[in-house]
């Protein structure tokens, strides 16, 4: 891992293919840099690594506030492209009499349907009121606060908690 002085001296840009490039003060550069959040749901603005294409950590930041505005902007753009986490606003129906269970939900990105292989393990509590749903394709859906769901949605979800 790099020291604080090295962290503050790097430059981040995009190449012609839109991939992130990290350039050190001595001119060395690493193409295909990937930002990875350590805790994307519980601490989205903290604990971020910049890794090379092989997953080796190049830099680590405890907070996005440590980044220069230009670098922070590029990293946030990249994270938004990489991370797809629809917010569930309402659970319309869960057809669990078949395997896998068929879920119909309304998200902040519109209505969608997905299948869940193992509802007992793929409905995960994240703290007191947050829930993470993981479909059979690995797509994650967040319910940030169960208390904000309508009564029908809460009743459906109660079967899995």
pLDDT band at 8 (very low <50, low <70, confident <90, very high): low
Residue 33's alpha-carbon distances to 56, 83, 144, 160, in angstroms, are 10, 15, 30, 38
Q: Enter the tokens of residue 137.
A: 């394709």
Number of C-beta neighbours around residue 115 at 10 A: 14
Instruction: Tell me how far apart the alpha carbons of residues 160 and 15 are, in angstroms, rounded to a whole number.
Output: 46
H-helix or E-strand spanning residue 36: strand 29-37
| In 18-139, alpha helices (H) | 69-82, 119-122
Query: Are the CB atoms for 33 and 52 separated by under 8 Å?
Result: yes
DSSP string, 64-90: GGGS-HHHHHHHHHHHHHH---PBEEE
Instruction: Tell me how far apart the alpha carbons of residues 136 and 145 are, in angstroms, rounded to a whole number.
Output: 23
Q: What is the mean pLDDT of the chain?
A: 88
pLDDT of 7 = 52
Q: Enter the tokens of residue 89.
A: 């606003």
Backbone angles phi, psi at 70, to 5 degrees: -65, -45
- Tell me the per-residue pLDDT of 57-95, one tens digit each, with 9 for 90 and over: 999 999 988 888 999 999 998 888 777 889 999 999 999
Instruction: Tell me how far apart the alpha carbons of residues 111 and 119 are, in angstroms, rounded to a whole number.
Output: 20
- Tell me the per-residue pLDDT of 103-120, one tens digit each, with 9 for 90 and over: 999 999 999 999 998 877
């Amino acid at each position: 891992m790099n020291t604080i002085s090295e962290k503050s001296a790097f430059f981040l840009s995009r190449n012609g293919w839109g991939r992130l490039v990290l350039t050190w003060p001595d001119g060395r550069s690493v193409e295909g840099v990937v930002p990875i959040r350590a805790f994307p749901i519980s601490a989205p603005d903290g604990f971020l690594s910049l890794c090379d294409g092989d997953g080796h950590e190049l830099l680590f930041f405890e907070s996005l506030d440590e980044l220069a505005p230009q670098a922070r902007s590029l990293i946030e753009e990249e994270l938004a492209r990489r991370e797809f986490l629809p917010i569930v606003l309402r659970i319309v129906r869960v057809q669990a009499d078949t395997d896998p269970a068929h879920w119909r939900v309304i998200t902040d990105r519109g209505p969608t349907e997905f299948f869940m292989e193992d509802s007992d393990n793929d409905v995960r509590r994240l703290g007191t009121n947050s829930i993470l749903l993981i479909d059979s394709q690995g797509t994650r859906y967040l319910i940030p606060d169960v208390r904000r769901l309508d009564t029908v949605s809460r009743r459906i979800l109660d079967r899995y908690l």
